[in-house]
Structure 1
Amino acid sequence: MPTGAEYEARIKTYNLDDLIRLWSQIQAGDTPDWDAGKALEYLIIRAFQLEGAEVLYPYSVRIDEEEELEQIDGAIYSDGLNCLVECKDTSAKVNVEPIAKLRNQLLRRPVAAIGCVFSRNGFTDAAATLAKYIAPQTILLWEQGEIYYCLQNQFMRLALLKKYRYCVEQGVPNYYINRRLP
């Protein structure tokens, strides 16, 4: 099992075409060189990094340098937004648990922090409903079609900004990015 540092070193060699190929493998559920879920975590962070965002690859938060309190899938700093990332690479739609987990992680952070949940296969109705009623509205949802579209067109940062603005204006965390960008 590779370490986080080894995964990070590997993904930093990937260019956009490599990420699009990796996304196809993720969609097919065939990522033999990656432990379960890791390919999506590193792909998302690298995609934002390639577009110029400041990022932090997956990391652990520890209590007194010993006990692991949280495992964070990454952080993105882009266009004035500070985001914690949660990625779910499952064949089923994401239920409420990852959203509730991220909400709890955000409660320990400054109010300016928001969350982004990236899902290979979308969200259950219950998860989408929960995301709408988190107060204050702090978690944005990303689904497979928009991830691919934004990857392919290098719109990850622009989509993040659009999703955030829509959430500010309409109070809806799951604005679907697909051909709504320039």
Structure 2
Amino acid sequence: MTTDAEYQARIISYDWDNLIILWSEIKARNTSNFWDAGKALEYLILRAFQLDGAEVAWPNTVKIRDKIVEQIDGVVYTDSLACLIECKDTTEEVNIEPIAKLRNQLLRRPATAIGSVFSRTGFTEAAVILTGFVAPQTILLWGGEEIEYSLANKCICKFLVKKYRVCVHKGIPNHDITTEIFS
């Protein structure tokens, strides 16, 4: 099994073009033997943020008294936002469970921390509706089209800030950034 350090060392060599290729492989469910299930998406998202200028904390486990209590897919720091990342590369739309898990992780963090769930296949209607009620935590939802749009425009940090601001202003956790005019 590949270690997190090996995944990180590999993804660090990727530029935007390599990420777009990896995204195509993820969508086709045909990643190389190097990537275990779900890992390609986790590292792709974090590398995109890093290439766009964000500070990234790579996947890790959180221990309390030598007991593992959490597995974090990553953390991104950009434009005064601290955002826990959760990635789901499944064949079906994501339901509420990963969102509830992220909510519980946010409960143990400062109130200013937010979360983002990235899903290749999108989210069930129930998950979208219920995400609006996880207050006071803020969790933003990113579907596959938004991931692709962010990669194509090489601008995921700006889109995170935009999604956050729309959520603050309108209470919409799943604002579709692909409807924005890129400038």
**TM-score with structure 2 setting the length:** 0.97
- 1:45–1:74 contact (8 Å) kept in structure 2: yes
State the alpha-carbon separation in 1 of the partners of residues 172 and 113 from structure 2.
Answer: 17
Deviations 1:33-54 (A, max 9, x none): 2000000000000000001100
> Which residue matches 1:104?
104
- 1:137–1:167 contact (8 Å) kept in structure 2: no
> Which residue matches 2:48?
47
> Which residue matches 1:156?
156
**Matched residue SS, 1:93:** coil
Q: Structure 2: where are the runs of 5+ without partners?
A: none
State the alpha-carbon separation in 2 of the partners of residues 173 and 137 from structure 1.
Answer: 11
State the alpha-carbon separation in 1 of the partners of residues 40 and 27 from structure 2.
Answer: 11
> Which residue matches 1:165?
165
> Which residue matches 1:130?
130
Q: Are positions 1:94 and 2:90 aligned together?
A: no
**Matched residue SS, 2:141:** strand
User: Deviation of residue 137 (structure 1)?
Assistant: 4.5
Deviations 1:38-94 (A, max 9, x none): 000000000000011000111100122x22110000000000100000000001000
Deviations 1:7-31 (A, max 9, x none): 0011001011100000000001111
CA, structure 1 residues 176+163, in 2 after alignment: closer, same or farther (shift >3 Å)?
same
Count of residue correspondences: 181
> Which residue matches 2:27?
27
> Which residue matches 1:37?
38
Counterpart code for 2:23: W
- 1:118–1:141 contact (8 Å) kept in structure 2: yes
> Which residue matches 1:76?
76
**Matched residue SS, 1:178:** helix
User: Deviation of residue 133 (structure 1)?
Assistant: 0.8
Counterpart code for 2:40: A
**Matched residue SS, 1:55:** strand
**Matched residue SS, 1:5:** helix
**Matched residue SS, 1:25:** helix
State the alpha-carbon separation in 2 of the partners of residues 81 and 21 from structure 1.
Answer: 28
State the alpha-carbon separation in 2 of the partners of residues 137 and 69 from structure 1.
Answer: 19
Aligned identity (percent) is 60
- Structure 1 outlier segments of 4+, above 4 Å: none
